[in-house]
Amino acid sequence: MDSILIVDDNRQVLEQLRELLTSEGYQVAFIPQGDFLFQRLDNGNFDLLLLDINLPGRSGIEWLREVKS
């Protein structure tokens, strides 16, 4: 089963995505901010990372650049 990590500070968005993706058979994990991103990536095996562009502090694009490096 494919697993997805979602990073979004909007609880409502997280819940909607979780419901949609789990109903399609995906395993879903989520965190509300990027500060825990690397810890979560180190502890899990994710096939897809969904990042909110407008995270507080650092944007999703900045987090993605760091993940890629």
Q: What is the per-residue pLDDT across 11-63, written as a single tens digit (0 to 9) for each? A: 999 999 999 999 999 999 988 887 878 888 888 889 999 999 988 888 888 88
Tokens of 41: 């990536």
Distance between CA atoms of 31 and 11, rounded to whole angstroms?
A: 10
> Which pLDDT does position 26 carry in this prediction?
96
Q: Which residues, other chains included, contact 50 with Cβ-Cβ below 8 Å and sequence gap of 6+?
A: 4, 5, 6, 7, 8, 17
Sign of CA dihedral 61, 35, 22, 16: negative
**pTM, two decimal places:** 0.85
- Domains identified in the chain and CATH numbers: 3-53 (3.40.50.2300)
What radius of gyration do the chain's Cα atoms show?
12
Helix or strand holding residue 3 (H, E): strand 3-7
